[in-house]
């Protein structure tokens, strides 16, 4: 994953618990240093190790840590660094998610190691929406759950995730989020 993800994780811990806690997380993770550069690609294991160390250090489940990270990612990292893109990608949460693949396509033309997930939005009726998340990476569904909550807050919309349904795939991960919009 790109350094921007690891940096965001670091920022979350530092903002909420202070630098010393982050240093404990870093020590626990076994990752040698935290001089991440946003545009540099790092091994996925680094991100997984840091996330697991965060969970262990806070004495919470990894899924809870990833959910919190998903919210932080939208509310802080994306909002601070990619505000113009966020605006351009949609006026509401579903519009944004519909454009997200388009945005990922464009990013892929610049970042050759970029392996983005895919989102598909299907409106079942006026308020109920199915959001399909497909990724070649495993274990990030809780992160996406947090991300959806973050987006809803970002666009001032109420949203309830009714059901999270893992779906069978040969490799990676596919998840259906059944969502009700307010």
Run of H or E residues at 36: none
156 binds another protein, rule: CB under 8 A: no
Toward another protein, which CB reaches closer, 38 or 138? 38
Binding mask 4-33 for another protein (x = CB under 8 A): x--x--------------------------
Q: How far apart are CA 13 and CA 17, in angstroms?
A: 6
37 binds another protein, rule: CB under 8 A: yes
CB of 18 to another protein, least distance (A): 18
Q: How far apart are CA 64 and CA 52, in angstroms?
A: 11
- Choosing from 27, 85, 162, 169, the residue that interacts with another protein (CB under 8 A) is 85
42 binds another protein, rule: CB under 8 A: no
- Choosing from 110, 125, 156, 158, the residue that interacts with another protein (CB under 8 A) is 110
Run of H or E residues at 147: helix 141-154
Considering only the stretches 56-64, 86-94, 139-147, 163-171, report the one whose residues sit in contact with another protein under the rule CB under 8 A: 86-94
Considering only the stretches 20-28, 82-90, 152-160, 173-181, report the one whose residues sit in contact with another protein under the rule CB under 8 A: 82-90
Q: How far apart are CA 25 and CA 13, in angstroms?
A: 9
Give the distance from CA 80 to its chain's centroid: 15
- Kindly report the CA angle at 52 between 6 and 80, in degrees rounded to 5? 30
Toward another protein, which CB reaches closer, 95 or 172? 95
Considering only the stretches 62-70, 81-89, 139-147, 171-179, report the one whose residues sit in contact with another protein under the rule CB under 8 A: 81-89
Q: Which of 115, 125, 165 is nearest to 145 (CA)?
A: 165
Toward another protein, which CB reaches closer, 24 or 92? 92
Residue 9 CA: distances (Å) to CA of 12, 19, 55, 118 = 5, 12, 12, 22
């Amino acid at each position: 994953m790109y350094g921007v993800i690891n940096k965001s994780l670091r920022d979350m811990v530092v903002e909420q618990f202070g630098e010393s806690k982050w240093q404990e997380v870093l020590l626990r993770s076994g990752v040698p240093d935290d001089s991440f550069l946003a545009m540099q690609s790092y091994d996925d294991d680094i991100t997984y190790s840091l996330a697991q160390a965060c969970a262990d250090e806070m004495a919470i489940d990894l899924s809870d840590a990833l959910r919190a990270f998903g919210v932080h990612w939208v509310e802080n990292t994306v909002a601070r660094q990619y505000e113009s893109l966020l605006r351009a990608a949609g006026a509401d949460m579903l519009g944004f998610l519909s454009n997200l693949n388009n945005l990922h396509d464009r990013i892929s033309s610049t970042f050759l190691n970029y392996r983005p997930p895919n989102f598909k939005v299907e409106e079942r009726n006026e308020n109920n929406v199915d959001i399909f998340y497909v990724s070649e990476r495993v274990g990030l569904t809780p992160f996406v759950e947090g991300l959806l909550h973050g987006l809803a807050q970002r666009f001032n919309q109420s949203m309830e995730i009714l059901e999270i349904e893992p779906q069978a795939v040969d490799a990676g991960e596919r998840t259906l989020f059944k969502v009700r919009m307010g």
